[in-house]
Amino acid sequence: MIDINHRAAHELAKCLELFDELLAQAGVDPSERPLKTAMLMASYGIARGSEGPSEDHNYLDDSWYSGLYHETEKWYVHRYGRNVMQPGKSNGTGLVLIHATPYKVSIPLTLSEVEEPGKTAWLSFPDSVRVGENPLKWLVNPPNLDALTEDERSEVLDDVEAVVGWVRSLTIGLMTATYQDESIRQLASSIDGHLSAGVNAIISTKDTNRSLAIWDLHLAAEKALKLFVLQSAKKVPKTHDLSILYKAATDDGLPPIDHDTFAALPSDQDAIRYRYLELPLPSTNTAAKAYRAATQITQHCAVNLKRKLVINKARILIKCPPWVRLKA
């Protein structure tokens, strides 16, 4: 740990103020800022050990960097509070119907298991429900599942497992695909936001939100099809019409998608009308079918994107950095 006197602490605080403002403007979550700030300060030589920063910034295992990180983290905890600085677990969002009522599914996307406390842990990337997992536990505020008949419970379990598989493989597919530039990567990263917005709108108590959900779900499918075409460096048709985009994608090698899946989504013109509440409000069942269709289409596009790295079902042993302590 580094020893910081009062003057040095004052100078460090000024630097941290600056970097925190820059990262805030960039939209970086507060929980991610201590590490990013410490790395920026070390990389640019603002803070360094006695030997100075190397050209490749190979400082991460140095004791002085651990000290810098902890001082930086302490400053952030003082500013934002310890609870804010704890990174939230990133879960995927799904939707199923139980008794014709929509329920959210909060899906763990990565799994970690400590191997040697404080030193190593396994990180895995499942693309479906793993043996030993109980996906019914991921239902958010579910009804009394014990009151279900055996057949009803089996049907719900099948629905949840299907959604988990789509969301997990979609996430991995978008994460590992190769993209020509940052704008295409940003397009890919926005797809999940539309699906999640659709789920939140469907489960809300406000009827008009279901119309907005249809638009978001249509847009998720539209972006996924456009993404597939863009990855081939082809010109994307300027349209919201999924049939035109689907043809362009299949012409570029996308395997066929069942026609019934597309039938659950409205035409581009109707999707726009739903957005402006110009059509009768869709039923919960209609909105839920649209969610399943949009999720299947986006997942199908994502898993068929070109990639250099395949991590589906991968299990990776990672070493704990010196400034982090793994919990047993």
Cα dihedral 279/283/286/290 (nearest 10): 70
Domain regions of the chain by residue span: 6-85, 91-303
How confident is the model over 41-65, as pLDDT tens digits? 887 766 665 555 545 556 777 777 7
How confident is the model over 224-277, as pLDDT tens digits? 999 999 998 778 989 999 999 999 999 999 999 999 999 999 999 999 999 999
- Do 305 and 311 contact (CB within 8 A), yes or no? no
- Do 265 and 221 contact (CB within 8 A), yes or no? yes
Per-residue pLDDT at 51: 54
**pLDDT bracket for residue 308 (50, 70, 90):** confident
* pTM for the whole structure: 0.82
How confident is the model over 189-219, as pLDDT tens digits? 999 999 999 999 999 989 999 999 999 999 9
In this predicted model, which residue has the larger pLDDT, 198 or 11?
A: 198
* Lookup: tokens for 132: 């030993």
Per-residue pLDDT at 324: 62
Cα dihedral 100/103/107/113 (nearest 10): -110
For residues 96 and 84, give the distance between their C-alpha atoms in angstroms, rounded to a whole number.
31
Per-residue pLDDT at 326: 40
* Lookup: tokens for 196: 């999640």
Q: At what angle do helices 268-275 and 209-231 cross, to 10 degrees?
A: 140
- Do 254 and 301 contact (CB within 8 A), yes or no? yes
The pLDDT of residue 311 is above 80: no
Q: Assign residue 113 a region: left if phi > 0, alpha if psi is -120 to 50, beta otherwise?
A: beta
Residue length of the chain:
328
For residues 191 and 126, give the distance between their C-alpha atoms in angstroms, rounded to a whole number.
20
How far is C-alpha 197 from the chain's CA centre? 13
